[in-house]
Chains A and B, each alone.
Chain A
Amino acid sequence: LAKTTQPISMDSYEGQEVNITCSHNNIATNDYITWYQQFPSQGPRFIIQGYKTKVTNEVASLFIPADRKSSTLSLPRVSLSDTAVYYCLVGDRYTGRRALTFGSGTRLQVQP
């Protein structure tokens, strides 16, 4: 699996848009990009997955440039409940078929 690099931590305020960028320079042609969210003492929760360009769901958007060497998770108008650790993973789109290698993740702290 391609190695990913994310900022260790980020701070934001309620109502702001938060963008978390993940670097994956060695992404392979068949690799997809998947983001998970984890609250303290809970299992990770799937947020979004994409291959290229932009993907949007009811929770977030994922922006992937043409070279796919990075990706940006965008959380619109964050609230206190978005305080969590966010993990970027790169690999086969069928994430359920093989174990996931989690990096250090980005710890997002949302302030009132």
Chain B
Amino acid sequence: GAVVSQHPSRVICKSGTSVKIECRSLDFQATTMFWYRQFPKKSLMLMATSNEGSKATYEQGVEKDKFLINHASLTLSTLTVTSAHPEDSSFYICSASSGGPDTDTQYFGPGTRLTVL
């Protein structure tokens, strides 16, 4: 089946530093990847849509200069949290589509737990 990986699985950083999270589709090519964040006991919230070879589309209220997204290839998208602050601490989840003419299911990565001290 379609597998999406994320790295790192968890990261702890100091306030003011930048953190990069990688999202990879391991056995398929993904033209589009999505980034979500999830706070404890809450549902997933879409942050941005990442398109290979073009700029990401951000949801309202998500700062594009703070959450930099790069989709350099059909199997890799990265999310960089710049100048991270404690309020950025969250669970970040990416997803990608396996594509197909009949069905096009969205598969999710295992998530990255970011803790900003």
Identify the A interface with B (CB < 8 A): 34, 36, 41-46, 49, 87, 93-97, 99-105
Contact of B108 among A34, A43, A99 (CB under 8 A): A43
Q: How far apart are B44's CB and chain A's nearest CB, in angstroms?
A: 4
Contact of B103 among A41, A49, A101 (CB under 8 A): A49
Give the size range of B's interface with the partner.
20 to 34
The residue on A at minimum CB distance from B98 is A96
The secondary-structure label for the interface of chain B is strand
Give CA–CA (A34, B107) in the complex, Å.
Answer: 12
Contact of A42 among B43, B104, B111 (CB under 8 A): B111
Contact of B97 among A45, A49, A97, A101 (CB under 8 A): A97
A99 and B111 within 8 A (CB): no
Give CA–CA (A99, B93) in the complex, Å.
Answer: 12
Q: How far apart are B26's CB and chain A's nearest CB, in angstroms?
A: 14
Chain A residues whose C-beta falls within 8 Å of the C-beta of B34 in the assembled complex: 99-100
Identify the B interface with A (CB < 8 A): 4, 6, 32, 34, 36, 43-46, 49, 91, 93-99, 103-111, 113
The residue on B at minimum CB distance from A107 is B41
B43 and A46 within 8 A (CB): no
Chain B residues whose C-beta falls within 8 Å of the C-beta of A96 in the assembled complex: 32, 96-99, 104-107
Q: Known contacts A41-B111, A101-B46, A103-B43; decide if A95 and B4 are in contact (CB<8 Å).
A: no
B104 and A104 within 8 A (CB): no
Q: Known contacts A42-B110, A87-B43; decide if A94 and B93 are in contact (CB<8 Å).
A: no
Give CA–CA (A104, B107) in the complex, Å.
Answer: 19
Q: How far apart are A92's CB and chain B's nearest CB, in angstroms?
A: 9
The residue on B at minimum CB distance from A96 is B97
B43 and A97 within 8 A (CB): no
Chain B residues whose C-beta falls within 8 Å of the C-beta of A99 in the assembled complex: 34, 46, 49
B110 and A95 within 8 A (CB): no
